């Protein structure tokens, strides 16, 4: 019997009224595992109306009450992390260990948000004028919407809604329709934690639901993570409709390997960062820039490690890499291998016919692939492939490599591998990228810092979570107050001045 996933609105399941449904696939087998309701205007309106109705009560809830609910939610998600990981693995395809890791990283943001009584402290200045005090307070913006991608169905939403809700906002989540079940389970855990009905809502759908949220007058802030073309559309549409927007786009993350680097460490890092979660993550390393003369040796070490990777279903205990999320995406990623060879690259590792644990069947399989001697004019270099394809580019010097990395239109994440502290410090200072790793291949910041890139990887001014997340989901109000003492004896209509 196949499952059916519907919306969560006003604290309970909300059956679809649009009459439209999408298929939920099991990537490891290729079969349709269920269906999901796709929202139309009525469902969008119902979700936003529920969030708007819940806002006044939640806005005025004490900070201690908000923190208690967040602590309960954190404990419940932790207790159900295995269940969530299996749900994610079954619909996305990533191995269960990867899925458990994303739940854990999402929990870190919930833990950060538990400190909301401290995070929302404003400022106070006494006696800015005679018997006049000035202070600032942080207040929620209202109904916030989150639009999130298929590759992290738990972690990316949890980058957003714990902070938004802790700040006193209400939230409408529009997760990917490709793997929707984790978001509904999180909604159920919020309810069990004591969150009032309507504070957190889940709206499934495609572009119709997205555009409905972007244009709805009662949605005040929009957070997005996805590809750059859609991030640009989200930013432009939401901003044109008067909303606060943070829209994180695509990436082409480079890993620079200098001649003095530990090549075994660099090769291990390139393989884990390039092929974890089948390369379907915005922080995956997709380009290794090897500064000669180490290119041949490094590529050989990468090939040696790739040969030992085990490809299989997400729930297989020996699997290290699962299938891709859909057949169409698998076919698109595969096309880059043929194209790169036609354009002059060397296919050092061909992942098109992987040896799959238990047999490939009709699953959406593509094994790890390595392209060598890639140049910046090739499609495999220019485009965000978002799959298990690692490109090796050769550079003659540090300066040439730096010029290559900084010239790329994306500016999400990058890494340098070297034993030279001076070179590493110079790199972190010069590179035109928002997140930098030094001998760390995937430099995802901890929850109390903020995540986000530069250039075409970010539209808007705010990164997610950390203090930038708190600022995004709040508005600052400045108050100037005079309370006359009992000796006050008259009216003064003048503007307050110092002295």
Burial class (CB in 10 A: 0-12, 13-18, 19+), 330: buried
Is residue 388 within 8 A of residue 351, CB to CB? The reply is: yes
Tell me the C-alpha distance between 127 and 114, whole Å.
33
Cis peptide bond prior to 8, omega within 30° of 0: no
Token pair in block for residue 2: 């196949």
Short-list 282, 154, 139, CA closest to 221? 139
First-residue to last-residue Cα distance in the chain:
77
167 counts as catalytic: no
Residue 481's H or E segment, with its range, is strand 474-482
Residue 417's H or E segment, with its range, is strand 413-417
- Nearest 5°: phi and psi at 476? -90, 130
Measured on CA atoms in the order 393, 399, 404, 405, is the torsion positive or negative? positive
Choosing from 46, 87, 278, 282, which is the catalytic residue?
282
Which residues fall within 8 angstroms of residue 398, CB to CB, at 6 or more apart?
256, 258, 291, 423
**Half-sphere exposure for 145 (CA within 13 Å, toward CB):** 33
- Nearest 5°: phi and psi at 238? -65, -40
Tell me the C-alpha distance between 360 and 366, whole Å.
10
Q: Which residues are catalytic?
A: 282
């Amino acid at each position: 019997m196949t499952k059916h996933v519907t919306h969560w609105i006003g604290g309970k399941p909300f059956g679809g009224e649009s009459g439209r449904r999408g298929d939920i696939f099991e990537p490891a087998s290729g079969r349709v595992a269920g269906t999901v309701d796709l929202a139309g205007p009525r469902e969008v309106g119902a979700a936003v109306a529920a969030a708007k109705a819940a806002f006044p009560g939640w806005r005025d809830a004490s900070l201690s009450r908000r923190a208690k609910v967040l602590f309960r939610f954190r404990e419940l998600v932790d207790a159900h992390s295995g269940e969530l990981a299996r749900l994610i693995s079954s619909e996305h395809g990533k191995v269960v260990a990867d899925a458990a890791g994303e739940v854990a990283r999402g929990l870190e943001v919930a833990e950060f948000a538990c400190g909301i009584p401290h995070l929302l402290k404003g400022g106070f200045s006494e006696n800015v004028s005679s018997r006049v005090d000035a202070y600032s307070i942080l207040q929620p913006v209202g109904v916030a919407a989150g639009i999130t991608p298929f590759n992290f169905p738990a972690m990316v939403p949890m980058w957003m809604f714990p902070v938004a809700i802790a700040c006193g906002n209400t939230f409408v989540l529009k997760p990917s329709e490709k793997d929707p079940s984790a978001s509904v389970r999180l909604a159920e855990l919020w309810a069990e934690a004591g969150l009032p009905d309507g504070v957190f809502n889940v709206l499934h759908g495609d572009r119709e639901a997205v555009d409905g949220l972007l244009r709805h007058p009662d949605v005040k802030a929009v957070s997005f993570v996805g590809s750059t073309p859609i991030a640009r559309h989200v930013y432009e549409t939401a901003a044109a409709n008067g909303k606060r927007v943070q829209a994180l786009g695509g990436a082409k993350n480079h890993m620079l390997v200098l001649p003095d680097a530990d090549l075994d460490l660099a090769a291990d890092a390139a393989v884990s960062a390039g092929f974890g979660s089948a390369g379907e993550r915005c922080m995956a390393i997709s380009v290794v820039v090897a500064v000669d003369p180490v290119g041949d040796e490094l590529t050989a070490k990468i090939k040696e490690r790739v040969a030992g990777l085990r490809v299989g279903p997400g729930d297989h205990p020996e699997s290290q890499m699962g299938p891709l999320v859909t057949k169409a995406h698998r076919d698109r990623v595969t096309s880059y291998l043929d194209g790169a060879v036609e354009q002059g690259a060397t296919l050092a590792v061909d992942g098109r016919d992987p040896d799959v644990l238990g047999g490939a069947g009709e699953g959406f399989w593509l094994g790890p692939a390595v392209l060598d001697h890639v140049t910046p004019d090739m499609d495999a270099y220019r485009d965000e492939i978002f799959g298990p394809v690692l490109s090796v580019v050769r550079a003659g010097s540090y300066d040439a490599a730096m010029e290559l990395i900084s010239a790329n239109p994306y500016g999400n994440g990058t890494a340098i591998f070297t034993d030279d502290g001076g070179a590493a410090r110079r790199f972190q200072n010069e590179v035109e990228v928002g997140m930098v790793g030094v001998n760390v291949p995937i430099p995802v910041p901890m929850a109390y810092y903020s995540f986000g890139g530069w250039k075409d990887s970010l539209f808007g001014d705010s990164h997610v979570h950390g203090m930038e997340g708190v600022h995004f989901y709040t508005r600052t109000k400045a108050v100037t107050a005079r309370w006359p003492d009992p000796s006050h004896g008259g009216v003064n209509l003048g503007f307050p001045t110092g002295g």
